[in-house]
């Protein structure tokens, strides 16, 4: 009987792991330089952490891996973490933070059931959360950080789409939906159902008529938002705060020369957003998303504190990272052969291997079955002088050396230079 991998899961091969670590490394490096600190939350959380209104949508909750723990006779379920932001917010509250500025980042997996088993059910995210800052500068900082990381990973064409949760809520209220219906429609929009606006428009044509410019809201400038504001100033003053906030952010982004697209209907499956929502795409795939969620921490029993964050999606990014980005990641490799296989030459082999590793080379002992394609140098260890013979596999030339230092000099001095 052949043992099979669990449906909807993936093995990461050595090559994929190199890509994974490359992305993770670029992400960690940027975050640390930007003053963010790394955290890790548990894989298991209580289900009720995610069920409160304003956390996850029922659509997402219907797909979490939940089960009764070994002491779960009370019926309360635990889940495999279906989202990364909510646990970080929980840990922030748990740690008794005082509402002051906290900048956190994490690399984590999340678990969501996906029916067909074609997509992976365990997904990896690199995320950053900025808690305690509510300014437009904070919003733009996160977008800039995300773009910075993608740039470091060699992505040249990254598309930025902007939406605003406050504006969506104001818009839905305009359709006369009850708060219950509003929530479920918003859920549908955030679950990615963009056709929902069109259905609404069909249902109440007169409101749809008035709101048509917003219902098909695609624009590429702050001017577009100012036009909308001018259009609605008299009829729909309740749109103003959200629009003003949106305009401020977009103004700042224009000052920083960012190109972007405004698309109100874009979004993802969270309903905890209150302000700006952004997503980044590369190669037509969504590779990052985030936004402002000022209500989440108070809703979970924490203090009134503004917060925002984003996550990079490792799985699509791994598929998009170009192979050349990986070049230079691995040190030059030296294969060490202990000529007569006596204990003395083997010992000498291990010794020089250790020395070469310290000086920045990759050094491997020949175990008899070593593939040699990616080996730059072969080092034969003899039990008589000269003890070492170095072969350059590219030129096939041989060099003799008596000491480890001479070997190093022959190799060019520094493996990772």
Partner 1 sequence: MGETVTVKIALPKGRLLETTATLLRKAEWGLEGYNQSMRNYRLGSRRFPDLQAKVFNERDIPVQVAVGNYDLGICGLDWVEELSIKFPSSALVKLRNLGYGEGVVCLAASHHQPAPTTEELKEETELIRIASEYPNLAEYLALGLRLRRFSVFPLWGAAEAYPPESAALVLVSYPTEQEVLASGLVSVNVLLNHSAFLIANKNSWEQKDLSEIVGSIEGQLPFTAEIQSKKAATISAEKGYHPWQTDEDTVRIALPDGHQQTHTVTLLNKAGIRVEDYPSENGNRRPGTDLKGVVIKVIRPQDMPLQVANGNFDLAVTGHDWLTDHLTMFPSSPVTELLDLKSGRVKMVAVVSREVPADDIYSLRQLVAKQTTPFRVASEYVNIADKYARDNHLGMYKVVPTWGATEAFLPEDADLLIENTETGRTIARHNLKIIDTLFESTGCLIGSRNETSSLVKQERIESIVGKLRAAVEGE
Q: Which residues bind partner 1 (CB under 8 A)?
A: 1, 48, 51-53, 58, 61-62, 68, 70-77, 115-116, 183
Query: Rounded CA gap, 229 and 240, in Å?
Result: 7
Give the gyration radius of the chain's Cα atoms: 28
Residue 48 Cβ, how far from partner 1 at the closest point, in Å? 4
Closest CA to 273 of 246, 247, 248, 250: 246
Nearer Cβ to partner 1, position 62 or 323? 62
Q: Which residues of 19-29 are buried (b: 16+ CB within 10 A; e: fewer)?
A: bbebbbebbbe
SS3 171: helix
Nearer Cβ to partner 1, position 49 or 401? 49
- How far is C-alpha 174 from the chain's CA centre? 35
- The number of residues making up the chain comes to 417
Q: How far is CA 238 from CA 233, 242, 259, 268, in A?
A: 9, 8, 28, 24
Residue 60 Cβ, how far from partner 1 at the closest point, in Å? 10
Going by the DSSP 8-state scheme, the letter that residue 52 receives in this structure is S
Query: Rounded CA gap, 47 and 345, in Å?
Result: 60
* Torsion-angle region of 218 (φ positive above 0: left; ψ -120 to 50: alpha; else: beta): beta
Nearer Cβ to partner 1, position 8 or 339? 8
Residue 4 Cβ, how far from partner 1 at the closest point, in Å? 10
Residue 116 Cβ, how far from partner 1 at the closest point, in Å? 8
The residue written with tokens 């992505």 in the block is: 155
Nearer Cβ to partner 1, position 115 or 304? 115
Residue 132 Cβ, how far from partner 1 at the closest point, in Å? 25
Nearer Cβ to partner 1, position 1 or 202? 1
Nearer Cβ to partner 1, position 47 or 215? 47
Nearer Cβ to partner 1, position 72 or 237? 72
Residue 43 Cβ, how far from partner 1 at the closest point, in Å? 21
Query: Rounded CA gap, 265 and 192, in Å?
Result: 8
Residue 230 Cβ, how far from partner 1 at the closest point, in Å? 37
Nearer Cβ to partner 1, position 89 or 262? 89
CA dihedral of 382, 384, 387, 389, whole degrees rounded to 10: -60
User: What is the maximum alpha-carbon separation in the chain?
Assistant: 96
The residue written with tokens 């590793």 in the block is: 357
Which residues have a Cβ under 8 Å from the Cβ of 391 and sit 6 or more positions away? 377, 378, 379, 380, 397, 398, 399
Residue 357 Cβ, how far from partner 1 at the closest point, in Å? 44
Which residues are registered as beta bridge partners of 10? none
Nearer Cβ to partner 1, position 74 or 394? 74
Tell me how crowded residue 286 is: count the other CB atoms within 10 A of its CB: 16
Residue 75 Cβ, how far from partner 1 at the closest point, in Å? 3
Under 8 Å between Cβ of 278 and 61: no
Nearer Cβ to partner 1, position 70 or 202? 70
Residue 72 Cβ, how far from partner 1 at the closest point, in Å? 7
């Amino acid at each position: 009987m052949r043992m099979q991998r669990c449906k909807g899961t993936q093995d990461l091969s050595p090559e994929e792991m190199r890509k994974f670590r490359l992305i993770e490394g670029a992400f960690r490096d940027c975050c640390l330089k930007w003053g963010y600190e790394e955290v890790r939350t548990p894989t298991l959380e209580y289900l009720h952490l995610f069920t409160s209104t304003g956390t996850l949508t029922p659509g997402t909750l219907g797909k979490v891996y939940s089960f009764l723990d070994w002491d779960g006779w009370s019926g309360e379920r635990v889940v495999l973490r279906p989202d990364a932001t909510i646990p970080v917010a929980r840990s922030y509250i748990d740690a008794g933070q005082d509402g002051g500025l906290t900048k956190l980042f994490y690399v984590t997996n999340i678990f969501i059931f996906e029916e067909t088993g074609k997509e992976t059910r365990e997904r990896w995210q690199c995320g950053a959360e900025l808690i305690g800052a509510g300014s437009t500068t904070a919003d733009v900082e996160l977008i800039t950080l995300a773009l910075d990381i993608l740039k470091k990973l060699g992505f040249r064409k990254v598309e930025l789409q902007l939406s605003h949760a406050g504006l969506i809520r104001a818009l839905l209220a305009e359709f006369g939906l009850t708060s219950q219906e509003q929530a479920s429609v918003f859920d549908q929009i955030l679950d990615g159902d963009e056709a929902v606006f069109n259905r609404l428009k069909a249902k109440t044509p007169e409101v749809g008529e008035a709101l048509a410019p917003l219902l098909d809201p695609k624009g590429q400038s702050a001017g577009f938002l100012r036009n909308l504001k001018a259009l609605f100033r008299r009829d729909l003053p309740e749109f103003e705060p959200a629009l003003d906030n949106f305009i401020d952010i977009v103004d700042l982004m224009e000052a920083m020369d960012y190109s972007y697209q405004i698309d109100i209907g874009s979004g993802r499956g969270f309903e905890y957003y209150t302000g700006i929502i952004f997503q980044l795409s590369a190669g037509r795939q969504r590779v990052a998303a985030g936004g402002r969620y000022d209500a989440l921490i108070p809703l979970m029993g924490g203090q009134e504190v503004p917060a925002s964050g984003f996550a990079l999606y490792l799985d699509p990014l791994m598929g998009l990272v170009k192979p050349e980005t990986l070049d230079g990641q691995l040190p030059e490799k030296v294969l060490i052969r202990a000529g007569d296989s006596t204990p003395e030459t083997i010992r000498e082999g291990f010794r020089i291997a250790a020395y070469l590793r310290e000086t920045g080379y990759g050094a491997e002992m020949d175990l008899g079955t070593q593939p040699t394609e990616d080996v730059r140098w072969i080092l034969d260890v003899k039990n008589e002088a000269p003890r070492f013979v170095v072969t350059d596999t590219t030129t096939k030339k041989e060099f003799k050396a008596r000491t480890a230092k001479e070997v190093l000099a022959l190799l060019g001095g520094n493996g990772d230079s």
